[in-house]
Amino acid sequence: MNGQGRLFSAGGGPLARRQDVDASQEPARAGAPSRARVLDLVRRHRDSTATELARIAGEVGLRVIHSRLSELLADGEIEREARRRCSVTSHHAWTYRATSFPDRSHS
């Protein structure tokens, strides 16, 4: 705390407080890929593991990919397809596929 009773980050700006939900979640939203982006990755790279999707996504971390995959699974937008050996880790892992595809009739 500074002398005025406020918390500050190392960068000089105020830290997000628990009561300020938008401010506390803003950094996560800014750096994390949207669900739509992860869903698009699953559609374009069918039969990929989470680690393979994270590698394809580049700057996105595996933890973020796992979070988005969990959300998409819970909402029924994707499903687990099969277990196979991951090309990145060499461990057996689930692959994913989209359960529906966007309507492209208007293109």
At residue 32, φ and ψ (nearest 5 deg) are -95, 145
pLDDT at res. 43: 95
Q: Is residue 10 part of a domain?
A: no
Return d(Cα 75, Cα 69) in angstroms, integer. 10
pLDDT tens for each residue of 55-75: 998 877 888 899 999 999 999
Q: Is residue 89 part of a domain?
A: yes
Q: Is residue 77 part of a domain?
A: yes
Pairing of β 48-49 and β 78-85: unpaired
- Total structural domains within the chain: 1
85, 100, 78, 25 alpha-carbon torsion, rounded to 10° = 130
Q: What is the pTM of this model?
A: 0.63
Return d(Cα 94, Cα 36) in angstroms, integer. 20
Return d(Cα 35, Cα 15) in angstroms, integer. 26
Provide the CATH number for the domain around residue 47.
1.10.10.10
In the block, tokens 């309507």 appear at 103
Domain span at residue 87 reads 21-98
